[in-house]
Structure 1
Amino acid sequence: MALVAVVDGVAGQSVGLLPLVALGPAFAGLVGSWVRTAVIGLLAVAVVCVLGVVDGLFEERRGFAAIGAVVGVTVAGVIAAVTRQRREAELANVRSIAEVAQRVLLRPVPRSAGHLRAAVSYTSAVAEARIGGDLYEVVPSPAGVRVVVGDVQGKGLEAVETASVVLGAFREAAHDEKALEGVGERVQRAADRALSGEKFVTAIMAEISPGQGTRVLNFGHPPPMIVRPDGAVDFPEPPEHSLPLGLGVHRAEPAVPFEVRFGPGDQLLLYTDGVTETRDAAGVFYPLGERAHLLADGDPQRALETLRADLIRWSDGPLRDDAAMLLLRFRRPGAVRAAADGPEEPEA
């Protein structure tokens, strides 16, 4: 508006820029409140009146036409601003409800679970969404700490609904079942009832006990990554691969757990294929094993955030698939006993 006024004052009425003052209330209606739009519209009318008098436009119809244009655009801008503010308020309410649902479905994992320290990272491929088709959970149980990481085929609300079924079944079974095989079978039955057609869920479950070691069930999921204290990396594969969850009609034998060497000083990373299938600009997959050194930070959450930041940089843009990562470490022997007596002290 100021620029139009200056140019009009210098060039005079022959240029005919006066109606362009209406751009002020037009842009105000796009980004500001209706009150701000109305104020800027009144200011625009004042500018047109002053310039119209200076240019002598009110001796003919051009001045009144310019005022009419500014008033019309201002009214339209106010209506647009009111409509936009109402929609923004509705969207804010929907987002708040969605955030509550997200926290219920993918609630934060405990920083300390039994003898383990845990950290989680989740990056959704859907813009401005916090969850999608990936899932994770950590449940301390009498048999040890039981964890799951899974990936639902597909995206959107249907994938979120399937993830809620699998997580609900796992949370209940992890507390009740004595053996990891029982947990897997109950989750299998729940997924078979919920899914139809060719839909499925890949998942990996682990039971980590200080005395009994670590046992893993793999339902067609990428293998876990174990980082040794010396930096060596291992991706243990199951002796026999099991079908993903939800394909019960095609399953001949139940999934069989296998032992994994995971002890103090080691790090266990469970992840979804959104991590390893992330490509750079040249189409090269993310080399997770080569990036294991990024988990060297003493704090598990900071270490995982470092790895996540590297993954985002590798993708050179938004991720094309959801990416979930769950990092587990053994706590110091003294930390477990101290936790029983009082709050846990921060670990370096």
Structure 2
Amino acid sequence: MRWWSRLSAMEEPAGAKGGWGLLAGSALVIVAVPVADAFLPHGIHLAHILVVPVALVSAFGGPRRGFVTALAAVASILVASAERHVLSSENVIVELLSLVVLSVLLILFSHLREKRLRELERLRRASETAQGVVLRALPPRAGPLFIASEYMAAELGTRVGGDMYAVARTEGATRLLIGDVRGHGLSSIGDTESVLGAFRASAYRQGPLPELVQSLEDGFRWSLTELPEGPSQTEVGERFVTAAVIEIPDDEPYAHVVNCGHPSPLLLHDGGATLLNVAEPAPPLGLGMLGGMGESTYTISTFAFGPGDHLILYTDGVTEARDPHGVFYPLLARAVTWTGDRPQALLRSMTEDLLAHVAGPLGDDMAAVAIQRDDRMRPVGSTISPDGQ
């Protein structure tokens, strides 16, 4: 029958497979109610209780199991009434009709609820796939570097927000991007995608680092021109991206940094922690439109980055995280307490420490990338000493 085929095609909820206890309890009630009815005075009936197991099974076991439970409940009333020769009595007919009507409504509600949940699950998976395309997972190795990343979105149910990171290999070097779009959550994904797209399109070229940063500025500026009414003065002044672009040569113990208004990278060396503050930071991406800045504005700062050192790139979701008393996370003081010889373990220690400081959910998106140079992977013939000579 068509109705049975449709019912059989209904999917059960994820937790329905383990509901044998619920089914056993419902079966016990369905058997016990007619038996108890037989020993009660003629004017007292318990058949209305049978709607309870139907409701419970429909809610927690799905519409198919609810339908089977409803059939069993109706059958129990019919068998008990026939045994007592009251099948055609007014009370029994009312009880049967009430049970059937309520069961149909309960099963229908269960079906609609499960259908809605499946639709939401499909939307969630599609959203996660789309977000995963925007913010791709970083490779664990890039040339002579070990790399690990951590991302925590402030908006519940999202995997990507206003923070970003990316890595690209060029001939003889690795380039990394860490950035933070003004705002957080899904509303900032468009700006995140425009900057990441510009980085992925340009980072593989052999041009100098300022040229790469200029391409990020141009890409973000171009994305603003795609607004329905063009970039208004308000948009120009309020939509921006802080970013730091880093280039790490394979055969030199250095890290070259261009910083556009982003929190300074953190260097862990010989048990100490140092912020790599650039001499001439540039304004955030997008604000360059206000001053007509060009490539020459982006100045490279070079820092020692030798074997065994860790470089931590992060967003202000780390430094601006507050404890219940409003105290900001003390990055430099806490960095020396982090444990882990490899980037992944180091980030795990950092994240656990950060969440312990906040003692609750983060108020902003947080992204962090840890990089460690592996001296064993340097090109043959190159020489790197701890002092950079």
Q: CA separation in 2, counterparts of 1:312 and 1:71? A: 53
Confirm or deny that 1:190 pairs with 2:255: no
1:297 aligns with 340
Q: CA separation in 2, counterparts of 1:274 and 1:54? A: 72
2:11 aligns with none
Pairing 1:1-348 to 2, within 5 Å after superposition: 9=36, 18-46=47-75, 61-142=90-171, 144-195=173-224, 196=231, 197=235, 198-209=238-249, 210-211=251-252, 213-229=254-270, 231-251=271-291, 253=293, 254-293=297-336, 295-331=338-374, 333-336=375-378
TM-score normalized by the length of structure 1: 0.83
2:4 aligns with none
More off after superposition, 179-188 vs 255-264:
255-264
Deviations 1:273-319 (A, max 9, x none): 12222233333323333332454322321321232233334333332
Please tell me the residue identity of whatever aligns with 2:357. W
Please tell me the residue identity of whatever aligns with 1:260. F
Match of 2:203, SS? helix
Q: Quick check: 1:4–1:17 contact (8 Å CA) kept in 2?
A: no
Deviations 1:117-142 (A, max 9, x none): 11011112222322122110111213
Q: CA separation in 2, counterparts of 1:313 and 1:283? A: 14
Q: Structure 1 residues 263, 52: CA separation in 2 closer, same or farther (over 3 Å shift)?
A: farther
Gaps (5+ residues) in structure 2?
A: 1-25, 225-230, 381-389
Q: CA separation in 1, counterparts of 2:185 and 2:44? A: 54
Deviations 1:148-207 (A, max 9, x none): 111112234441121111011111221114211111111011112213402111111111
More off after superposition, 125-134 vs 20-29:
20-29
Q: Structure 1 residue 51: deviation in Å?
A: 7.5
Q: Structure 1 residue 89: deviation in Å?
A: 3.3
Q: Quick check: 2:158–2:185 contact (8 Å CA) kept in 1?
A: no
Q: CA separation in 2, counterparts of 1:51 and 1:319? A: 60
Q: CA separation in 1, counterparts of 2:181 and 2:87? A: 69
Gaps (5+ residues) in structure 1?
A: 339-348
Q: CA separation in 2, counterparts of 1:37 and 1:160? A: 42
Q: Quick check: 1:192–1:247 contact (8 Å CA) kept in 2?
A: no
Q: Quick check: 2:272–2:336 contact (8 Å CA) kept in 1?
A: no
Q: Structure 1 residues 63, 316: CA separation in 2 closer, same or farther (over 3 Å shift)?
A: farther
2:387 aligns with none
Q: CA separation in 2, counterparts of 1:315 and 1:4? A: 52
Q: CA separation in 1, counterparts of 2:163 and 2:110? A: 38
Q: CA separation in 2, counterparts of 1:17 and 1:126? A: 49
TM-score normalized by the length of structure 2: 0.75
